[in-house]
Structure 1
Amino acid sequence: MVTPAPTTLSQLLSSSEIILLDGAMATELESLGVDTSSALWSSVAMASDPDAIRAVHRSYLEAGSRVLVTNSYQACPDDFVSAGWEREAAEGLVRDSARLALDSVDEWPGEPPVVVAGSVGPYGAHLADGSEYTGDYRLDDEGYRNFHRPRLQLLYEAGIRTFAVETQPRLDEVLAVLGLLRDEFADADAYVSFSLADARHLPDGTALADAARGVSRFSAVAAVGINCVPRGWVSDALTALRAGTDLPLLAYPNSGEVYDPTTKSWAPGPDQDRQAALVPQWVKAGARLLGGCCRTSPATIRELARITS
């Protein structure tokens, strides 16, 4: 039997400290030679190089992360089946994303408790067309539940009790996922993290404060915030969130580099070297959980640990 994560996020948040999330998975896998160019993105490494995933998890633990996120953002069983795996093997790969993170925590000699959060990317990530940043799709409540249920169930069976409902562009999808957690996974908690159209709105047009109010109705939600956004938006976004909720806030923006969707490449950006200057503003605005998203690394987390210690 797989040992569940040692604590839930709700329990970890009972302290008054700033809690460090981890950083990018795909960026680090690429640095280790893993090809993430397919529609399966970083989740392909569950089959091609699980040791690389372990190495990435370990590097974030060593950097100071106390929340590890599973490599399941784009790991849906149907997508593995479409890529050629049998259904049983596909389901095993999703479970592996939890096992690799949980084992990394079990093998880590450090003492502070670490939460493993099961990554739940949006339906737009499954489409692999960038719509997790536009919200240009729509299912009904049942459709969203049917899409998310298999991955949630597989992660739960593998021992996950905290879910990272992340990079979410649509409030209706998030509410469907939270309803599913309430109805079918009642002993689990979650954090919700939105992608943004600007510093105060979701890509679907919802005001960020209204989105915060909406998710705060669910007792499973331990924290709410934003991720995969420019660093320069974070302070205003946290202020907007605080107007809608008393929940702990979180932020894990990108590196500050700028992505060109045409060339699929990154270029230096204005906030690339400003993390040290910006983080105190984020903490003042209410951030309790901080980490990194695209193009960040263990060095990003080490700097966060230095700034917030």
Structure 2
Amino acid sequence: MAPAGQKKGVLERLEAGEVVIGDGGFVFALEKRGYVKAGPWTPEAAAEHPEAVRQLHREFLRAGSNVMQTFTFYASDDKLVNRGHAQRFTGQQINEAACDLAREVANEGDALVAGGVSQTPSYLSCKSENDVKAIFKKQMDVFVSKKVDFLIAEYFEHVEEAEWAVQVLKTSGLPVAASLCIGPDGDLNKVSPGDCAVKLIKAGADIVGINCHFDPETCVKTVKMMKEGVEKAGLKAHYMCQPLAFHTPDCNCQGFIDLPEFPFCLEPRILTRWDMQKYARDAYNVGIRFIGGCCGFEPYHIRALAEELAKERGCLPAGSEKHGSWGSGLDMHTKPWVRARARRDYWENLKPASGRPFCPSLSKPDAWGITKGHADLMQQEEATSHEQLKVLFDKAKSK
């Protein structure tokens, strides 16, 4: 494999019309495996259990990913302090370990390393622009020292904070991607997807798009709105999409975190590999060329993206050695009725049952309607007290 620095960069690939396959969700996958704690969602596993992070990177690489994104989601110092991890691992230790793991695996294939930053408790707590930017710069400095290939500002609910992140990351001289966790209604201040994209490009982003909070159908729709806004403004950019692996048609503007099932009962909503193939095709057809996933995306989901776009990419992933196209491997099954399922029209038209006779098809989101500046979002280092929890429990019961 070509060593780091000799591979084509992300912008070089996109400008040539190539499809870049991102990776999947780390915090959700590693939480299920016992390495991440739900709630904080912080990535100390990069330093604490590097073997688990390395293995997940390898599985995504085998599935077809071109990008090994550093496991640095919520790895800013303020988030680590806020969630009680600062005394165990410093932000620098976690970020450095995550870069090393991503680079090690990326060098095993034709993958690039992307250093990622995400929204901060400091912004939600109304800290100054300079304070928030200093947090991003501290992570960026590690990424630059570790020679990542490009940078991603992801998972931002407010475009203003994303702009600040992009402005900082752009000083590195590396390509910068920016993705918001918003839907068609726009960010939490009601800035439209099109206007958000324009703001991000003007801040310096080379790639813009959406990640997390919503299902593929919603995210593709939102990126399409961004693209329309960018073109209307006479600007140019590349587009990315990294949605959830869950169906979320009943979500409001804050996405799946408002669903009653979040985060421990989302499995009935998981997309099948065939749903993922449809997502890959839909994304490609609207002009998105950086296509990956976020929470809930396992390696087999990424493999489905790579298989759907195999013709456009000119290759199949290594993981396809053990997977027949559209279930073709079933032609070797012992049961004849299972062998009869070895065909595309069977899987493409199947309407999977949930097996849960008393479950509703949709949920009612917990729409509390609060965002930056609200007292309930002021961040604190100590765990939420019983008194504070009682207020929240009472409020939830009254809704």
Name the TM tier (shorter chain).
0.7 to 0.9
Task: Return closer, same or farther for 1:29/1:209 CA change in 2, 3 Å cut-off.
Answer: same
Please tell me whether Structure 1 or Structure 2 has the larger radius of gyration of its CA atoms: 2
CA-CA distance at 1:270 after TM superposition: 8.7
Match of 2:62 in 1: 62
The answer to whether the aligner puts 1:177 opposite 2:165 as a matched pair is yes
Deviation string 1:55-113 (CA, Å, 9 cap, x unpaired) is: 0111111110001111001112344456354598442222111111011122x1x3x3x
Give the TM-score, by structure 1 length: 0.83
> In structure 2, how many angstroms separate the alpha carbons of the residues matched to 1:68 and 1:5?
16
Deviation string 1:199-235 (CA, Å, 9 cap, x unpaired) is: 241222111101111122244x221110112222133
> In structure 2, how many angstroms separate the alpha carbons of the residues matched to 1:251 and 1:299?
17
The answer to whether the aligner puts 1:254 opposite 2:251 as a matched pair is no
> In structure 1, how many angstroms separate the alpha carbons of the residues matched to 2:89 and 2:270?
46
The answer to whether the aligner puts 1:281 opposite 2:282 as a matched pair is yes
The number of aligned residues is 290
TM alignment of 1:173-252, pairs within 5 A: 173-182=161-170, 184-185=171-172, 187-196=173-182, 198-219=183-204, 221-228=205-212, 229-245=214-230, 246-252=236-242
Identity %: 20
Deviation string 1:4-56 (CA, Å, 9 cap, x unpaired) is: 695542223232121100001123323433242362x2512023211111101
CA-CA distance at 1:257 after TM superposition: 4.2
Name which of 114, 118, 121 aligns with 1:117. Answer: 114
Task: Return closer, same or farther for 1:279/1:4 CA change in 2, 3 Å cut-off.
Answer: closer
> In structure 1, how many angstroms separate the alpha carbons of the residues matched to 2:139 and 2:88?
13
Structure 1 stretches lacking a partner, 5+ long: 128-134
Match of 1:165 in 2: 153
CA-CA distance at 1:280 after TM superposition: 2.0
CA contact (8 A) 2:42 2:80 kept: no
Give the TM-score, by structure 2 length: 0.66
Residue range with higher mean Cα deviation, 262-271 or 277-286: 262-271
Task: Return closer, same or farther for 1:236/1:101 CA change in 2, 3 Å cut-off.
Answer: same
More strand by share: 1
Q: State the AA in 2 paired with 1:256.
A: F
TM alignment of 1:86-101, pairs within 5 A: 89-101=90-102
Task: Return closer, same or farther for 1:164/1:276 CA change in 2, 3 Å cut-off.
Answer: same
Task: Return closer, same or farther for 1:96/1:5 CA change in 2, 3 Å cut-off.
Answer: farther
TM alignment of 1:8-157, pairs within 5 A: 8-37=9-38, 39=40, 41-80=41-80, 83=84, 85=86, 89-106=90-107, 108=108, 110=109, 112=110, 114-123=111-120, 126=121, 138-157=126-145
C-alpha RMSD of the superposition: 2.7
Secondary structure of the corresponding residue to residue 243 of structure 1: helix
CA contact (8 A) 1:29 1:42 kept: no
CA-CA distance at 1:267 after TM superposition: 4.5
Task: Return closer, same or farther for 1:201/1:263 CA change in 2, 3 Å cut-off.
Answer: closer
Task: Return closer, same or farther for 1:161/1:280 CA change in 2, 3 Å cut-off.
Answer: closer
